[in-house]
Amino acid sequence: MFNGIGHELVHLLQVSSIFIISISYVFDESREDALVYDSVFDYVVYSAIVMLFMLASDRLLGTSVLDSMTANAVLLLLIRQFVVAKQNALISHRLHTVNTDLEVAVTTKAHELEVREQQYRSLFAYHAEPIFLFDLHGEVLSVNEAGSSVLGHDTETLIGSNILDIIEQKDRSAYATVLHDLTNGRPRTLDVDVVTEDGAKRVWQLMNIPMIIDGEVEGIYAIVKDITQMIVQQEQIYYQANHDSLTGLHNRYALQEQIERLIAEGRPFSLMFSDLDGFKEINDQFGHHMGDELLQHIGKRLRGALLPNEYAGRLGGDEFIVVAEHDDDEMLVERLRRSVYRPPYFMGGTLVEIHASIGIVRYPEHGSTLKHLLSNADLAMYKAKDKGRNETVFFAPELRAHKEERKLLMEGLDTALEKGEISLYLQPQVDASTKAIIGAEALMRWQRDGVFIPPSQFIPIAEETGHIHDLGRWMIHETFQLMYAFEQGDIDLPKLSVNLSVRQLFDEHLIEYLTTLFERFPIEPGRLNFELTETVAAHQSDRVLTRILELKALGIKLSIDDFGTGYSSLAYLVRYPIDELKIPREFTMQLEENREYQTVTATIVAMARQLGMALVAEGVETEYQENFLRKIGCDSMQGYRYAKPMPLDEFVIYYMKKTM
């Protein structure tokens, strides 16, 4: 196969092979896959060529195999050197690539860490909420600007201090426990009270997050949320839900909850149900704003009068409840009357006297449920009202029958006038010296099914239900008609008195109504006398003065009924044009046995004389009473010693006998 090939051609092929290898090395691709492929391919191909040439040179040149191999050793070594060089280049390239990739990864990771560090620092430093970092003992390691600002300290002062130092004493123990518990790696949240540099008290909600490094808790992040305003709002909502907005006392809901809790726990207690006497008259006289102010004052006094085991609340209107976890009911009533209901109230330049009717029940004796207890307390309270103002009644089972009676009275008042059950009675007023009739008082009587119902029973109910308006108008109308009939006949009655209730006094149509009656029954106005309660007269308000002056302008005379039984500054006696004072029956009945009442009565008579006012003593029944009153200067008297109240026909006969 090699016949005809000369030495020159062989050497040329060898030199060409070396040249080709060199050129291929110079222009080799630097890609890793190309380097790997070329090194293996070159080694195999070139080794085959060398072997062929070695054999060819031996055959053609006639030399020995050894000489041929020696001659071509240089070529083999050169080829090997090229292959090794290419392998070294491959390794170098791989190392460079790995180093480059590693540098890129390290640079990228470092940048990421730097970004995260900046993010953390920005979050920590500029977070709107205070953030603290402290160790497991509470020592502050770092704090953001919001944290130092809210406490009023600079950052340097806070670092190294203990978080427990700014927490109020009552919460320190609980927070110290939280610090200890955080070692288990679970976040904890706790509300604590703190004190700032300026002494302000705030409520913080601390969200405590453990800082874990290598699986160990090395510190604590505390993110602060100031919940002071939220707590204040929650307390306001709770207060409004459980307290009466006008008086500040517990409301109906809170009272019921408290009483039901006591019942559920089986704890005995007393329940005192009080209703103000004459409160509607105060509203009518001064307006609801004055009534609201009075209720506020009562609420304030009640709060100040209670013991630690007593609770007070307002059911609504002028009704109040006091719950006492003791059985000294008499002491409780006396304390509340002395502190709350007995002293007068000074409001808007006016002294206002108020009393209360009180009903009392005991748990469990008088009821096992809240509804039952309130119902029985209500019965006792209304029984107290029926007895008169400022009375207290303890519940008794027989009061249930009284409730039914009261219900019947309320229903009967609806039709009493229509059925003609209301009638007018007259009780004479006499001159004790001459026994001459100087006047009479018109009184209302109710006879139902042949039975007379005492005014003390139905008048309070009429005032409560509003029937007093129609009944009062009826009385005024009958008084005008009677006076007109007397003047047209042979009865010369100098004076006829009739009670004017608070509602009537402040009826906006009263003057118009009286004017109409004067036109219909043209009587002499000076013979008509309106009796006002001292409670109304004692209130020195422009509204009272205006109405009194309007009545005086019509020529009507005015007297103060039961003078001295209510609180009075006496200033109204000078301010108001009052014509007459009536000494109450309560005073007259005590004259024989009580020197104090004698002194007070004598003082009233002397004062009336000095002010030029007339006097009438009510309830005169004995000779001693008559003589005493005459002795101190009171000659006009009214009472059973002279005549009891009587219907019109009997009065006319009585009058005719006395004037014959």
pLDDT tens profile 319-372? 999 999 998 999 999 999 999 998 888 877 777 888 899 999 999 999 999 999
Calculate helix-pair angle for 510-520, 542-553, nearest 10 degrees.
10
Q: Are 159 and 135 in contact (CB under 8 A)?
A: no
Query: Which burial class, exposed, middle or buried, applies to 7 when counting CB atoms under 10 A from its CB (0-12, 13-18, 19+)?
Result: exposed
| Cα end-to-end span (Å), the chain | 191
Cα 76 from Cα 17, distance rounded (Å): 11
Cα 134 from Cα 220, distance rounded (Å): 5
Q: What is the pLDDT of residue 385?
A: 87
Supply 293's token pair.
């102010």
Supply 535's token pair.
């409670």
Q: Which has more pLDDT, 497 or 238?
A: 497
Supply 235's token pair.
């307390």
Instruction: Label residue 428 by pLDDT band (50, 70, 90).
Output: very high
The model's pLDDT over 478-488, given as tens digits with 9 standing for 90+, comes to 999 999 999 98
Report, as an integer, the average pLDDT of 592-608.
Answer: 90
Judged against a pLDDT cut of 60, whether residue 36 lies above it is answered with: no
The model's pLDDT over 153-212, given as tens digits with 9 standing for 90+, comes to 777 777 888 888 888 889 888 888 888 888 777 888 889 888 877 778 888 888 888 888
Q: Which has more pLDDT, 48 or 326?
A: 326
Of the candidates 645, 630, 252, 115, the residue with the CA atom closest to the CA atom of residue 429: 645
How big is the CA angle at 214 (ends 212 and 217), to the nearest 5 degrees?
Answer: 30
Supply 492's token pair.
């010369």
Judged against a pLDDT cut of 70, whether residue 10 lies above it is answered with: no
Strands 355-363 and 269-277, bridge-based pairing: antiparallel
Q: What is the pLDDT of residue 175?
A: 84
Instruction: Label residue 70 by pLDDT band (50, 70, 90).
Output: low
Supply 113's token pair.
């860490």
Judged against a pLDDT cut of 60, whether residue 611 lies above it is answered with: yes
Report, as an integer, the average pLDDT of 422-438.
Answer: 93
The model's pLDDT over 279-300, given as tens digits with 9 standing for 90+, comes to 887 887 777 888 899 999 999 9
The model's pLDDT over 385-405, given as tens digits with 9 standing for 90+, comes to 888 778 999 999 888 877 778
Does an H or E element contain 169, and which? helix 169-181
Q: What is the pLDDT of residue 2?
A: 46
At position 533, the amino acid (one-letter code) is T
According to DSSP, residue 115 is labeled: H
The neighbour count for residue 455, using CB atoms within 10 Å, is 16
Beta bridge mates, 310: 324
Q: What is the DSSP string of 497-556?
A: EEE--HHHHT-TTHHHHHHHHHHHS---GGGEEEEEEHHHHHS--HHHHHHHHHHHHTT-
Please report, for residues 235, 419, 537, 576, the alpha-carbon distance to residue 544 in angstroms, rounded to integers and kept in the order given: 43, 35, 7, 9
**Where along the chain do the CATH 3.20.20.450 domains lie?**
426-442+464-647
Q: What is the pLDDT of residue 61?
A: 47
Q: What is the pLDDT of residue 186?
A: 80
Residue with tokens 């927490």: 167
Supply 566's token pair.
């209510």
Buried b (16+ CB within 10 A) or exposed e, 233-256: eeeeeeeeeebbeebebbbeebbb
User: Which CATH superfamily groups domain 243-397?
Assistant: Reverse transcriptase/Diguanylate cyclase domain (3.30.70.270)
Beta bridge mates, 363: 269
**444, HSE (Cβ side, Cα atoms, 13 Å):** 26
Share of the chain above pLDDT 70, in %: 81
Q: Which has more pLDDT, 87 or 522?
A: 522
Cα 256 from Cα 325, distance rounded (Å): 15
Judged against a pLDDT cut of 80, whether residue 62 lies above it is answered with: no
Q: What is the DSSP string of 215-284?
A: TEEEEEEEEEEE-HHHHHHHHHHHHHHHB-TTT-SB-HHHHHHHHHHHHHTT--EEEEEEEEETHHHHHH
Supply 639's token pair.
């009472």
Of the candidates 77, 97, 227, the residue with the CA atom closest to the CA atom of residue 150: 227
Strands 131-134 and 140-143, bridge-based pairing: antiparallel
Beta-carbon contacts of 528 under 8 Å, excluding residues fewer than 6 positions away, are 479, 480, 483, 495, 496, 498, 555, 556, 557
Of the candidates 558, 581, 573, 557, the residue with the CA atom closest to the CA atom of residue 638: 581
Q: Are 269 and 262 in contact (CB under 8 A)?
A: yes
Three-state secondary-structure class, residue 209: strand
**Where along the chain do the CATH 3.30.70.270 domains lie?**
243-397
CATH node for 127-231? 3.30.450.20
**Where along the chain do the CATH 3.30.450.20 domains lie?**
127-231
Strands 310-316 and 319-324, bridge-based pairing: antiparallel
- The backbone torsions φ and ψ at residue 287, rounded to the nearest 5 degrees and listed phi first, read 100, 160
Residue with tokens 């006009």: 636
Of the candidates 137, 118, 145, the residue with the CA atom closest to the CA atom of residue 175: 137
The CATH class given to the 426-442+464-647 domain equals alpha beta
The sign of the CA dihedral 391, 395, 399, 402 is positive
Supply 248's token pair.
């500040």
Buried b (16+ CB within 10 A) or exposed e, 413-431: beebeeeebbebbbbbbbe
Report, as an integer, the average pLDDT of 587-613.
Answer: 91
Q: Is the peptide bond before 522 cis (omega within 30 degrees of 0)?
A: no
Three-state secondary-structure class, residue 131: strand
Three-state secondary-structure class, residue 388: coil
